[in-house]
Each structure stands twice: as structure tokens, then as C-alpha cells.
Amino acid sequence: MKYIEWNNLITKHFFNETKADKEVLLYVNDEVITSLGEPFNVGVDDFIESVKNGPHWTTRAGFCQKALQACEDWRLRGLEYPPYVNYLAFFVLAAVTETDYAPHSYYPGFWKRLNEPQESGMPPSFSRMIELWDDLEKWSREDKHEEFGRFVARVRGGYMHVGLPRAQTVLSEYERKHLPNLFDKANLDPTDPPSPAIISKILRNYGQEVLENRTFKLLNSVQADDTVLRKALIEVVLDELEEWDGLVEEIIEEEKQPNLQVHTGLRLCIKLDSMAGHASVYVRFKSSRMFPEDGLNFKERSGQSLLFCREAHQGWSTPLVEATEGSAIKFNGSNLDWHEGVLFVDSNNHWHARLRGADVRLFRLGVMDGLPDWVETQKLERGREFLIAFSQKLEAKIRQWGEDYCEYFKQENVSGIPNGWFLFRIKNVTESCPDIDILTLSTLVRLTLIEGVKSGRGNVYFKFAPPKVAIENSSGTEIVTMNGVNLKQPDVNVPIWILPNDVSAGQPLRIEVNLEEHRLSKIIRLEEFALPLSFDETPYRDSRGRICANDVPIRVCGSFVYGVDEHISYPSTIPTHLSDKIIFLGEKPGQVIDWPRESIPSSWHPVWSIACISRKQRQAFFCGNSNHLKTEYSLDKPVGDRSCVKRWKEALWVRRKVTNPPEILEVRKIWEEYVRAARSV
């Protein structure tokens, strides 16, 4: 293949929409090149030959001189991708090439790939290759606003020029692809990552089936030169964890095929009343997955508890409530086994919610998450206030640590927590507690974006809902800027900064935090909300929701359905999946069925199904047909005996205050007409 064909193929492989807002590692080895070239019947030798030749406009003779010439004014050529990526890929390929020289020697691998004497030393102009690495970072972050991924020019070890390609070998594509398996095995929650300081320990303990030997060598290295790269590895792993949506592929032995499950981590929450000496403990969770429309019904493995929740805001669930005792009260989290943990399962929706077992539990105020009360967290940060709950067997150790390394350490003498547990309030921790992971105080500062509404992939947000800037593990002295202008921090005790209201849309916005040892930055862009003039580019989806081509027989695009002659606008079957107990109501007073105690009607069609969640909570759903969509409703002649008519009125009128109406406005108006009319029955 020609040079540009190889260049576009490799660049598109590493930089694409699936990598939006993620750090891209240009990890290239023989397997990657072979895999990319296989459809075109070419391989590593053809790739290297194309790099030797360079793009068609290069005229210089030297290898690195051709690379520099490929980079010069390349944006003026109207190219889709930077035309020098092939050279950077070759430099990384050289870094993973085995030679007869010491493992830390770089140049022998470089010359070996070019079939030149391996003792030739540094190639001419190799010291200027940093210009290419820097330009790739600029292209990914400023030109493309991280929509195809974020490249960072890092250096591995103490040697600048060879450290740049070596930094790309921090994690292979195979390792990165299989990190979710490691996360699941370690019971990590993507919405509540642990302290960066213990990520290395987690990788060593759970990475045997995922990580390669050279990654373990990096994790275990005591060389000062590997410190920077180990930090880069931790950053990449944390990015992948936070991007993980909790989806896990499990193999069901009976079916012998993958079964997708959504795994999420339960969080204990504490409403503390120090004056009354009581702590109310309840449970919720956060997920980046879309919640089922009708909420989730969790059962414990033993089948003893039935808990219900739905989405509240920003991916948070409502507090889990007991749905089996006749009242929708918050489930008491102190009844759970805090030591061993517990697993709840919603089999219908394939969701698993697990409370991690632990002897120490940490809580921070929910203001960072837009929540009231204290919310469980896996991360101890400096300069913050926390509640800490710990079991009796760790009492002496934690009391000693708290007295030595906490500016404030005081017990909360409250009821409401499990027997044998203590609750303390702590402030401004200065040192970690040895051998207790969750009390490991990290020194790594991270810049994150919270809230806001994204308009697509990458750090692109709608102007009407921009993100907020948060700093994890802040010292309280940071100055956060956007394009050189200081951002406002509404509360000096909360490490959150907000964007000004007059920010222009369409331009790159560089958010920066200057620290003593390094600088943190992110580039975002705001855009105005507007509907497209054409939906021609909107992808089709098949019956399973997967993106497909337009030759699939049955497919959908927005509200258009293709390949189906008859469009059914209303349910063709009675929705008995809504609850274990449903009251079906017909158009006429007396048309009422209490399912499953009574059979589904055959002589009349239900208009409403009322799912009985608990004695004090019901939800109404429309299940009629097009004939029932009347803007006005008038009572018809009752049918059946007096008891049926009474039950019909009770379901609509008497129980109206505990029945949530339909969410769709037009359907809700019809429901209200039925309720109004039922009053007169």
C-alpha cells in the first residue's frame, strides 16, 4: 500500500469516535500492523517499506528528515489526518522490538527494523521528532477537541527522545480492551473510583489474566525513571474505569452463549442527626447506563428482600425502598451485612447491584454529587471532611491513626448503625493509615468535568448546560483558568469551579490548573442547540438496537420503521410485566380485573393498567388502543355487579392520591378525565 493509505489506516484505528474524551496510546507492535494490513494482503514489511519511501511530496533523503517534511504545513494540504503518524507508529514499533542488546537500549531496535547495523546510534534529526509528538497532541486536543481521543506527549524514563515512543507502550490494546474484566473481578464502581494511590495494588492483585509481563514489571519497578510512566498508567486505567458503564459479559452454562449484565455498586448514605444522636442509613447507587423506564426491582439472592428504585438525576437512583411490606419506605441500610457485603439482582432487566464488603467505610457530604446527606465513597482526599465507620476489630488502630494524622477526629455517639461499628467525623487528614486501602491518602491531583449535557462524543457540551470543573484531591490553593481567565469558585470549601455565562460557542476552551510539579488541562467546546436540517446521516438500528446498514430487512431510523408493513401503535399484548399485582380498568364502570388473582378479560379491552408497587404507591399506564385516545370522556352505563363498579371507582377516584399519573402529558389529560368522571359513579 502507499504511504498515505497506511497512515490513514493506522490513524483511524487509534483515533476515532469510540475514543472520544479518552487518552489514546499509540501502542504499535507486529500484531497490530498485521491485523490492519490483513484485509489488503499486506503486512509489517510493506508498512516499513512505505515509511522508508514517505509521502509522495517528500524529497529529503534521511529517515527523520522525511518525517519532518511530512509534518511541515500539513494542514494546508487539506488532509483528513496528520500525515506523519506512520513515523510515530514506526518509532513505537522499534521500542517493542527485541534485539541482542540490553532491554533498555532503543536505537538497536530502530536500526534492526530498517535492516541497518544495530550499533549505528541515534539517527540524524531524531532529536527533532518531539515536534511531531507535540503536533499530534495539538491536533487531537485543539483541532479535534478530543472528539477522536486525547493524545498526551509523555516521556518514559530520563531520556527525552526515546522516552516519547516508550511512553506509548504503557498499556497494549489487548490489555485496555479487557480492563472491564479486571474491574468487575475487583468489584470496582466506575462512578466511585478508589484512590489513585492503590490502583497499582489492584492491578497487581487482579491483573493476572489481563496484564502482560512488561506491565507487571512497570508496576513493580523501583526505578525513578519509571515513576512518570507508572503515573501515566494509573491515569489511563482511571480513565477507562470512569468510562466503563458497568456492562459485563457473562457465560450462562446452560445456554453456552454470552449474557450481558449491568453491574453497579450500592452506596450507603447517612442522614446524621447529632442532636438527636441518631443516624438514618439508606441505600442508593449511580450508573451511567440508562435506567429501565419502569424502574428496577431488586431481590436478594436468598429472595427475602424486594427493593425498588428508579432514576433520580444525573445517573443517581432514588433511595431503595421496600416494596413488599405495604409501604414505600426507605430500606434500612444498617440491616445489611457491612462486613461481607450483599448482592441484589433484577433478573428481568439483567442488573446486579452489589454492596462491597468492608471493615472500614468512608462517607463524604453529597454536595459534590448534588445530593443531601453523607454518601459513601472509596476515596480519601486531603483537605476534606469525612465520616468514617469501622468495625470493632480495627478500633485501636484507627483511633491511633486518627489522633496522630487527623486535624479533627471525634466520635459520633449515635444509634442507627450496625452493632459493633463506630462512627467518627474526621477533617484534614495528613497521612495514610497503613494496611487499610480505603484510608490511603493520594497525592495525585485530577481535573474532572462534572454535570453538564454533552452534545455528542468528546468534551463537547450544549451551551445551555455547560459542565462544572472539579479538582479531586485539591489543596485549596489552586487557581483554575479558562483561556487564561480565572474561573469562579462559588464555595471555597468545595473544589468546584463554574464557567461564566457569556462564554462563546464554537471555540476551543482550554481549562488549566497550574500545580507546582506539573499542569493539568482539558479542552472543551460549547455549541448551540439546533436540530439538523437533514437526518440523512442518522444511522439505522436493527431490532436489537445495533447500528446497521440500510440493507437490513427490518430497521429503524428515529421514528421511522422500515421493513414492517403494519405499524402497531399500541400494545398488542396486555402489559403484565409491570408488576406482581396489576389492576386493569376498562372504559365502562365495572370493567375491572385484579390480576393475577383474576384472569385477563376477553370480552373487553383494558384502557388502564395500574401497577401496585406498594400500598401507598401505584403507577398508572395507558394500555388501550387508538379508539380510547379521546380528549373528552363521559361516563357510560355501568356493567357487572355493584362490587365491580365500586372497585372501578376505588381504583380511579379513591386511590387517586397514591397513584402516579402517566408521564406523557396528552395521556395524562385522558387519565384525569377518567378520574374526574369516576367521582360521580
pLDDT higher at 330 or 257 = 330
Cα of first residue to Cα of last residue in the chain, in angstroms, is: 81
In the predicted model, is pLDDT for residue 505 greater than 90? no
Could you tell me whether strands 257-273 and 351-355 are parallel, antiparallel, or unpaired per DSSP bridges? parallel
Mean pLDDT of 459-471: 88
C-alpha cell of residue 325: 411490606
Residue 302 is predicted with a pLDDT of 63
Does residue 618 sit in helix, strand or coil? strand
Task: Quote the mean pLDDT of the chain.
Answer: 86
Q: Left, alpha or beta for 145 (phi > 0: left; psi -120 to 50: alpha)? A: left
Could you tell me whether strands 519-527 and 460-462 are parallel, antiparallel, or unpaired per DSSP bridges? parallel
Backbone angles phi, psi at 271, to 5 degrees: -100, 110
The vertex-214 CA angle with 211 and 218, nearest 5°, equals 95
Q: Which residue has the cell 508498512?
A: 47
pLDDT higher at 348 or 68 = 68
Mean pLDDT of 294-299: 88
C-alpha cell of residue 498: 463554574
Whole-structure pTM value = 0.66
C-alpha cell of residue 547: 447500528
Of the candidate ranges 190-199, 331-340, 528-537, 637-646, the one whose mean pLDDT is the lowest: 528-537
Distance, CA of 574 to CA of 584 (rounded, Å): 9
Distance, CA of 511 to CA of 142 (rounded, Å): 12
Residue 569 is predicted with a pLDDT of 47
Of the candidate ranges 153-167, 193-207, 397-411, the one whose mean pLDDT is the lowest: 153-167
The vertex-485 CA angle with 484 and 488, nearest 5°, equals 140
pLDDT band at 327 (very low <50, low <70, confident <90, very high): low
pLDDT higher at 329 or 425 = 425
pLDDT higher at 137 or 571 = 137
Distance, CA of 310 to CA of 284 (rounded, Å): 10
Q: Give the C-alpha distances (Å, rounded to integers) separating 123 from 62, 127, 161, 608.
A: 9, 9, 11, 78
Mean pLDDT of 321-344: 83
pLDDT higher at 206 or 665 = 206
pLDDT band at 663 (very low <50, low <70, confident <90, very high): confident
pLDDT band at 574 (very low <50, low <70, confident <90, very high): low
Residue 188 is predicted with a pLDDT of 92
Residue 521 is predicted with a pLDDT of 81
> Nearest 10 degrees: CA dihedral of 115, 155, 132, 112?
0
User: 201-205, 208-212, 323-327 — which one is most confidently predicted on average?
Assistant: 201-205
CATH class of 446-527: mainly beta
C-alpha cell of residue 443: 497525592
CB atoms within 10 A of CB 355: 23
Distance, CA of 612 to CA of 658 (rounded, Å): 10
Percentage of the chain beyond pLDDT 90 is 42
pLDDT higher at 631 or 408 = 408
pLDDT band at 158 (very low <50, low <70, confident <90, very high): low
pLDDT band at 155 (very low <50, low <70, confident <90, very high): low
Backbone angles phi, psi at 625, to 5 degrees: -115, -170
Distance, CA of 347 to CA of 350 (rounded, Å): 5
Contacts of 603 (CB under 8 A, 6+ apart): none
Burial class (CB in 10 A: 0-12, 13-18, 19+), 61: exposed
C-alpha cell of residue 165: 515512543
Contacts of 493 (CB under 8 A, 6+ apart): none
What are the residue boundaries of the structural domains of the chain, listed by start? 3-165, 173-247, 265-444, 446-527, 582-678
Contacts of 661 (CB under 8 A, 6+ apart): 620, 668, 671, 672
Distance, CA of 182 to CA of 185 (rounded, Å): 5
